[in-house]
Structure formats: structure tokens, C-alpha cells
A and B are shown apart, each in its own frame.
Chain A
């Protein structure tokens, strides 16, 4: 298995532009997570999907952020409009159902908003 695949690896955009981050979870994993990592706040859960349905989006910082999972093999995280304070590394992770499984993380997308 190729693991959790994220694209792009790096994204530099101007303030106000729309940014779309993509994730392909491991096949057979029912749970998908989007995390954001910053020096100040560490790793924060943004949103959790189970069987393609958003279960918990309480970590999404504001309405500028949205996430979708149209099928079991693809998810997007969109920021519109982007702001400099959105600069961070965004990780996608997936896990099988069941509490005895660990998470597998992707390599992340480093977003810089200038």
C-alpha cells in the first residue's frame, strides 16, 4: 500500500486566493482526519470523517474552511479566502474502524499564504 497520499506537498499562494488540499486515504480505512500543525499550537484536529460522513468539524477554525469527502478514496480541504495566519502544515490521516487501531499520516502539505 502506498500509504496516505497528500497533494500538493508545498503550496504558496497570495492572500485572498482559494486553496485546495487533497488526500487519498489508505484503501479500507473508514476514518479520515485533517490536522493542522503550527509551532505555536502543535497538532490540531480540524475535521473527522467516518464512512465519508463528517462526524466532527468542531476544529474547523472558521467558515473560510470547508472539507468534503465525496467517496471513500478522496477528500479535500478548501480555504477560501486564504489568509497569512492559515500558513501551516496540513496533514491528512486515516484509520480503520475500531479503537485498537492506530493512525497513519500522510506527508503533509506545507501551505504558505503571503
Chain B
């Protein structure tokens, strides 16, 4: 059974810092991995989607990497801003079941002005 773990559970940083959020998964047989952002009381917004054949994806100040063999992904946020404060979730789509996402519990990020 696929399990997804996100570390740390919460992170507080001053504005302007570069930071890394971690995601690990137990079964490396995946189709893709997706990073989401969730603001309090809101839905999930997709940030980046990395296919199993890819090493990384970039969007603006965000960079996500994937090391499928070791079961790890990182989300790098450059020059953090207070508006980046949210919960960040990673989810993997296992290759054995090509529709079912398995989510981590998320990292609650607070960027202090």
C-alpha cells in the first residue's frame, strides 16, 4: 500500500528565504507526482505535475524535483513571500492503479513579513 509522508508538518520562515518542502513515498511505481497548494477554507490548487520520466518541473519561483528510485520529491520555493503562506500537499498517482491519488498530510507554511 502506497504511503506518502511530508516533512516537516509545519514550517515558519521570514520573508525572502528560500525553502524546501519534502515528500516521500513508499512505492516507486508511480505515473506522476503532483504538488498542490491549499489556502485555509479553500480548495486545492495544482502547482506542478511531474511525470515519472521527468526529474523536475519549474513554474516561476517554484521548482519541484522527483527522484523516483528513492521515493522522494522536493518543492523548492525561492524568495518566499507572505502570500506563499498555505498548506502544501503532494500526491502520487500509482502506476498499478492509474487513477487513485495518494496524498500526504501536507506541510503548513507560514512566511512572516
Contact = CB atoms under 8 A, between A and B. Distances in A.
Given A42-B105, A100-B51, A107 B46 contact: no
For chain B, what secondary structure do more than half of its interface residues adopt (helix, strand, loop), or is it mixed?
A: strand
Contacts of A107: 42-43
A74 B29 CA distance: 32
B103 A43 contact: yes
Nearest to A58: B100
B43 A105 contact: yes
B102 to A, nearest CB: 9
Nearest to A101: B49
A48 B89 contact: no
Interface string A70-114: 000000000000000000000101010001111111111010000
A100 B101 contact: no
Interface residues of A, number: 23
Contacts, number: 51
A48 B101 CA distance: 11
Interface residues of B, number: 24
Given A103-B46, A105-B45, A110-B41, 10 more contacts: A42-B106, A43-B89, A48-B100, A55-B99, A56-B99, A99-B31, A99-B95, A105-B36, A105-B43, A108-B43
A31 B99 contact: yes
A30 to B, nearest CB: 10
Contacts of B32: 99-100, 102
B63 interface: no
